[in-house]
Structure 1
Amino acid sequence: MKICIIGAGAVGSLVAVMTVTSGVGRIRLVDGDVVEESNLTRQIFYQEEDINKEFKVNLMKRFISEINLNVNFEPVTKYANIEEKNPD
C-alpha cells in the first residue's frame, strides 16, 4: 500500500508515524518547512537542535527509519501544489 501525506506538522507527523506502525510500506511526506522554535510546543518529533537546520520531512524520515527500516519513505522538501502534475 502507498500513501501520500501533505504536511509534516503536528497532525501530519503523527499520521506518518501511525501509518508506518499500521503496516503501510510506502509513504510520501510533502512539506517545505524547516523546524521553527514555535513548532516545538506542538510537534513532538522535533528538537531544539533542529531549529532552522533541517526540513521536517527529512527529520521524519530519520525517525521513521528507526521504527521500521523496510518502509519506503520518500521525503519531498517542497510545498504541495495542486497545479503541478506528478505521474506517481
Structure 2
Amino acid sequence: MADHVVPHFANDQGVAVIHVGVKEFKCMGARAPFDHPHVFLDMGSDGEIICPYCSTLYKFDSNLHANQTTPAGAFVQTLADA
C-alpha cells in the first residue's frame, strides 16, 4: 500500500501554466466528465513538466503546499484525501 496520497490536479480554467507545490502528482485534464486519463507525472530533478494529454505546463513552487496551486483551484480532493 502506498505510504502517501498522490495529489491530483485539474485545469478547469484552461490556463497554460499551473504552479504546484509537489514534483509527483496526477494530471486529470479537467474535472469529470471532461477529464483525460489520470496520468502520473514526475518532474524528477527538473522544475517543470508538460502533461502529454492536455499540454498543461506544471511548474514547481517550493512555497506552495501539496494542496495549493497558482492559480488557485486546480487541486482536486480525492477519496483518499478525505
TM-score for both structures, normalised by structure 1 = 0.29
**Between Structure 1 and Structure 2, which shows a larger proportion of helix residues?**
1
Structure having the larger proportion of residues in strand? 2
Question: What TM-score does the superposition give when structure 2 sets the normalisation length?
Answer: 0.30
